[in-house]
């Protein structure tokens, strides 16, 4: 049921009210704005249609694409869990993302408004994108890349990165994008695992006001055993910094790409041809090489981008702030939006360079209408203060998205109020590298949204919450999030390791895909994500979700951010340990720690009261902004740290560890 909450929700002042988090969870709804609902790309009808005929629904969505050979088959599930979608169809992904828009007369439409961190800008139309992708495809072919060869891409956030990905797709060479901030070690293991033949990189990119080198990490990675098959390194000149050069192996992008013919005939590939390998964030363990293929993947990212962001390609300016080295960058910067002919903003740098209003300045400058970002960024902006976005004209925004972690109600409300003028729908989208595309989310023109909940599976997606025995839990109860039917953009396997694919996702619950996340259904049947099951704490016989304790902590006015872990404890099995970042002016003392413990106990009950609370300056995060709780658990249990290769900044852990001996302990 939906009701208008505008009377009570001009509420920055009351969001810290102790009972609010609970209140929001149970009762708040924001109906879609009437105008948006009236013109929405997707209406409630889609749920019914997909429910009546799921495969027919996806076959219909596949017709969003331009196929060289139309598929007759939709799903082949004869050898579960190895799916084939649209297997007898053929298509070219780059043609679908670029050429067909030019053929439809949209060559002058801007594909990317690029904003470099130093303030340099460049707009790339679809016609220009077509030329560059064609030339890059020829260049890769000249370097000997053939269909099926893997290409590693280790780049800053610049247009050439999207061009490189599309050029690979165009010639059927699966890419493996490695986040540009990773170390030589992390890059080397990914090059080895995928057995890459070419690496595309840049001299460097701009980060926090300085050129930050990339090429040296490639040079170092390629000294490691297992990388011998890399025969060429293609280097984009971005910063102009000095680079070491290996004659015969290294090639400047501008020297080889610019001289190629501007036309390139795209070859049609099988729908199940590999499109890319992408390694997961490594929040819970060693990263897994997730394999995605062509036709089903593009169908779902195209449909979901159209449905969830209600994209009107003629008028919208869409901006996803993710890095392209993360799956969100693949699906919702490159393949989804471009397949829909979107105009996008592509920003190279960090949100606070040269000032903390940089993002909002960009929104104002380009008239961004749809913004897709992560809770970690929203919480950082909250910490910097409401007055910063208030200085900019954000009135162009009409849809706000969130992805990456459960978004705590506090941050959700702040996002809607301070970025969305208290009227813009917020869509909290749950999905994973493995799912390829968005799976559970409100639809902005249909769903009455609830702060903190991802709510409902998209049309054509079957998800539920089960208990230990695979029984679906009733409304109001919690358990494990599972996907009960195959979906078009599902991973096909873990690269080179079918057994790990079976063990990781398909063995815990029979015939169900186990996502690894805990979830609960509320009384309306809406889904709330509760964090990784690896993170769920067992305290004196009770399962307690880290997400809920974190949300309770962040609802206290002095807490900007929180990470909670369960540490082995002789009395209670696990004890709740919280690491908190305080807001600017809050003083760190025993009194405050007690106050926070009491606050959580009041919100969630005494069982959830943290045993220890440790104020820290930073939290360990992956490159995509997720908190790495397993490292905090290592700290809390006095163990050596596990795999840290995907950590943004390893000094954070030293800082936290150095604080630990003086940490306030229990009662
Ligand atoms: P690894 O699998 O190596 O541990 P990872 O799971 O962090 O890495 P990703 O695929 O980038 O790597 O992240 C997917 C996970 O992010 C989901 O399983 C879920 O835990 C979390 N997540 C993403 N979006 C949401 C959301 N909207 N709400 C709650 N959780 C989310
Ligand atoms: Mg995962």
pLDDT in tens, 99-123: 999 999 999 999 999 999 999 999 9
pLDDT tens per residue, range 432-491: 999 999 999 999 999 999 999 999 999 999 999 999 999 999 999 999 999 999 999 999
Question: Cα 24–307–348 angle (5° rounding)?
Answer: 85
Rounded-to-integer distance, Cα 95 and Cα 101, Å: 9
Total residues belonging to the chain: 667
Going from the C-alpha of 97 to that of each of 84, 105, 333, the distances in angstroms are 22, 14, 11
| Average predicted confidence (pLDDT) for the chain | 92
Q: Specify the pairing of strand 318-320 against strand 612-615.
A: unpaired
Looking up tokens 């609830």 gives 450
| Predicted pLDDT at 18 | 36
Q: How far is residue 529 from each of residues 430, 440, 548, 563, measured CA to CA in Å?
A: 8, 10, 10, 16
Q: How far is the CA of 103 from the centre of ligand 2 (A)?
A: 39
The 10s digit of each residue's pLDDT in 537-577 is 989 888 888 998 999 999 999 999 999 999 999 888 999 99
- Using DSSP's 3-state secondary structure scheme, residue 304 falls into helix
Separation of CA 580 and ligand 1 centre (Å): 21
Of 611, 608, 663, 610, the residue nearest 635 (C-alpha): 663
Which atom of ligand 1 is nearest to 402's Cα? 27
Give the Å distance between the CA of 454 and the centre of ligand 1. 13
For 388-438, write each residue's pLDDT tens digit: 999 999 999 999 999 999 999 999 999 999 999 999 999 999 999 999 999
Task: Note the pLDDT of residue 661.
Answer: 52
Residue ranges around ligand 1 (CB below 6 Å):
280-285, 287-288, 327, 403-406, 428-430, 432-433, 454, 515-517, 529, 532, 624, 626
Mutating to test ligand 1, I would choose from 282, 405, 531 the residue with most ligand atoms within 8 A of its C-beta, which is 405
| Residue (of 284, 275, 388) closest to 334 by Cα position | 275
651 contacts: CB under 8 Å, gap ≥ 6: none
Q: What percent of the chain has pLDDT over 70?
A: 95
Least confident segment among 83-97, 235-249, 586-600: 586-600
Residue 202 neighbours by CB under 8 Å, 6+ apart: 155, 156, 158, 160, 214, 215, 235, 236, 237, 238, 239
Split at pLDDT 50, 70, 90, the class of 286 is: confident
Provide the pairing of β-strand 151-154 with 198-202: parallel
Domain boundaries, the chain: 540-658
End-to-end Cα separation, the chain, in angstroms: 44
What pLDDT does 21 receive? 45
pLDDT of 623 reads 76
Distance from residue 432's CA to the centre of ligand 1 (Å): 5
Alpha helices in 195-294 (DSSP H): 215-221, 253-257
Q: How far apart are alpha carbons 320 and 370 in whole angstroms?
A: 8
Q: How confident is the model at residue 282 (pLDDT cuts 50, 70, 90)?
A: confident
Identify the band that residue 20 occupies on the pLDDT scale cut at 50, 70 and 90: very low
| Crossing angle between the packed helical segments 295-308 and 54-62, to the nearest 10 degrees | 90
Residue 528 pLDDT more than 80?
A: yes
- Joined together, the tokens standing for residue 318 give 């869409």
Q: Read off the pLDDT of each residue in 225-247 and give the average, rounded to a whole number.
A: 97
Among all bound ligands, the one having the nearest atom to the CA of 286 is 1
CA of 404 to the centre of ligand 1 (A): 6
Of 391, 388, 407, 417, the residue nearest 584 (C-alpha): 388
pLDDT of 24 over the 60 cut: no
* Pairing, β 318-320 against β 370-373: parallel
- What number is the average pLDDT over the span 192-212? 96
Give the residue among 619, 666, 667 at the shortest CA–CA distance from 647: 619
- pLDDT digits over 360-385, tens only? 999 999 999 999 999 999 999 998 99
Question: Considering every ligand atom, which ligand is closest to the CA of 515?
Answer: 1
Q: pLDDT band at residue 15, thresholds of 50, 70 and 90?
A: very low
The answer on pLDDT for 66 being more than 50 is yes
For the structural domain made of 540-658, what CATH number should be given?
3.30.300.30
The ligand with the least distance to the CA atom of 325 is: 1
Task: Spell out the SS3 assignment of 350-404.
Answer: CCCCCCCCHHHHHHHHHCCCEEEECHHHHHHHHHHCCHHHHCCCCCCCCEEEECC
Instruction: Determine the pLDDT at residue 540.
Output: 86
Q: What is the pTM of this model?
A: 0.92
**pLDDT tens across 595-614, in order?**
999 999 998 888 899 999 99
pLDDT by residue (tens digit) across 633-666? 998 888 888 888 888 777 888 888 877 654 433 3
Q: Are strands 175-177 and 210-213 parallel, antiparallel or unpaired?
A: unpaired
pLDDT at site 542: 85
* DSSP per-residue codes, 99-128: IHHIIIIITTSEEEEEE-TTS-EEEEEHHH
CA angle 567, 662, 562 (to 5 degrees): 50
Give the pLDDT of residue 660: 66
pLDDT of 154 higher than 80: yes
Q: What percent of the chain has pLDDT over 90?
A: 82
What pLDDT band is residue 590 in, cutting at 50, 70 and 90?
confident
| pLDDT in the model for residue 19 | 40
Q: Residue 292: is its pLDDT beyond 90?
A: yes
- SS3 readout for 179-222: CCCCCHHHHHHHHHHHCCCEEEEECEEEECCEEEECHHHHHHHC
Return the structure tokens found at 111: 């594909």
So what's the pLDDT on residue 27?
A: 63
Question: Which residue spans within 504-609 are E strands per DSSP?
Answer: 513-521, 527-532, 537-539, 542-544, 559-569, 573-582
């Amino acid at each position: 049921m939906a009701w208008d909450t505008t009377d009570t929700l001009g509420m920055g002042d009351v969001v810290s009210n102790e009972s609010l988090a609970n209140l929001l969870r149970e009762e708040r709804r924001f109906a879609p704005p009437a105008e948006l609902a009236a013109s929405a790309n997707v209406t409630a009808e889609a749920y019914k249609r997909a429910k009546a005929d799921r495969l027919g629904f996806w076959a219909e969505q596949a017709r969003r694409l331009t196929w060289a050979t139309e598929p007759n088959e939709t799903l082949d599930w004869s050898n579960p869990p190895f799916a084939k979608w649209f297997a007898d169809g053929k298509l070219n992904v780059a043609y679908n993302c670029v050429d067909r828009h030019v053929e439809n007369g949209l060559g002058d439409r801007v594909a990317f408004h690029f904003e470099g961190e130093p303030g340099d800008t460049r707009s790339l139309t679809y016609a220009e994108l077509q030329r560059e992708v064609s030339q890059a495809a020829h260049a890769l072919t000249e370097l000997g890349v053939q269909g099926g060869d893997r290409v590693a891409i280790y780049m800053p956030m610049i247009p050439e990165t999207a061009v490189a990905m599309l050029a690979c797709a165009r010639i059927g060479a699966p890419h493996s994008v490695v986040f540009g901030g990773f170390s030589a070690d992390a890059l080397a293991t990914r090059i080895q695992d995928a057995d890459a033949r070419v690496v595309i990189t840049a001299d460097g990119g701009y980060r926090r006001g300085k050129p930050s080198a990339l090429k040296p990490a490639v040079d170092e990675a390629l000294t490691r055993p297992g990388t011998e098959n890399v025969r060429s390194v293609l280097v984009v000149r971005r910063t102009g910094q000095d680079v070491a050069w290996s004659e015969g192996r290294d090639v400047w992008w501008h020297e080889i790409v610019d001289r190629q013919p501007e036309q390139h005939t795209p070859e049609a590939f099988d729908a199940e041809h590999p499109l890319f390998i992408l390694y997961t964030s490594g929040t819970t363990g060693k990263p897994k090489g997730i394999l995605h293929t062509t036709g089903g993947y593009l169908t779902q990212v195209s449909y979901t981008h159209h449905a969830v962001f209600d994209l009107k390609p003629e008028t919208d300016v869409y901006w996803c702030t993710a890095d392209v080295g993360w799956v969100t960058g693949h699906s919702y910067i490159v393949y989804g939006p471009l397949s829909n002919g979107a105009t996008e903003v592509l920003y190279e740098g960090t949100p606070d360079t040269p000032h903390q209003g940089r993002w909002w300045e960009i929104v104002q400058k380009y008239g961004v209408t749809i913004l897709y970002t992560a809770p970690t960024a929203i919480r950082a902006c909250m910490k910097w203060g409401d007055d910063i976005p208030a200085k900019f004209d954000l009135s162009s925004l009409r849809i706000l998205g969130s992805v990456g972690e459960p978004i705590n109600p506090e941050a959700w409300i702040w996002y809607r109020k301070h970025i969305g003028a208290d009227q813009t729908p917020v869509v909290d989208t749950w999905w994973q590298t493995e799912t390829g595309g968005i799976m559970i989310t409100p639809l902005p023109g249909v769903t009455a949204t609830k702060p903190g909940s991802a709510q409902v599976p998209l049309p054509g997606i079957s998800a539920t919450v089960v208990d230990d025995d695979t029984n679906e839990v009733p409304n109001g109860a919690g358990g494990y999030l599972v996907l009960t039917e195959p979906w078009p953009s599902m991973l096909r396997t873990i690269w080179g390791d079918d057994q790990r694919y079976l063990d990781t996702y398909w063995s815990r619950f029979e015939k169900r895909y186990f996502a690894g996340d805990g979830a609960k259904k509320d009384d309306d049947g809406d889904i709330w994500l509760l964090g990784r099951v690896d993170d769920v704490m067992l305290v004196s016989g009770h399962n307690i979700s880290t997400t809920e304790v974190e949300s309770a902590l962040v609802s206290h006015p002095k807490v900007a951010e929180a990470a909670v872990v369960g540490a082995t404890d002789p009395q209670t099995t696990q004890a709740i340990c919280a690491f908190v970042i305080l807001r600017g002016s809050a003083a760190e003392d025993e009194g405050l720690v007690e106050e926070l413990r009491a606050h959580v106990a009041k919100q969630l009950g005494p069982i959830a009261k943290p045993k220890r609370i440790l104020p820290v300056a930073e939290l360990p995060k992956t490159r995509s902004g997720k908190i790495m709780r397993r490292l905090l658990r290592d700290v809390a249990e006095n163990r050596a740290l596990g795999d840290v290769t995907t950590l943004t900044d390893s000094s954070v852990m030293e800082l936290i560890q150095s604080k630990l001996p003086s940490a306030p302990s229990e009662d």
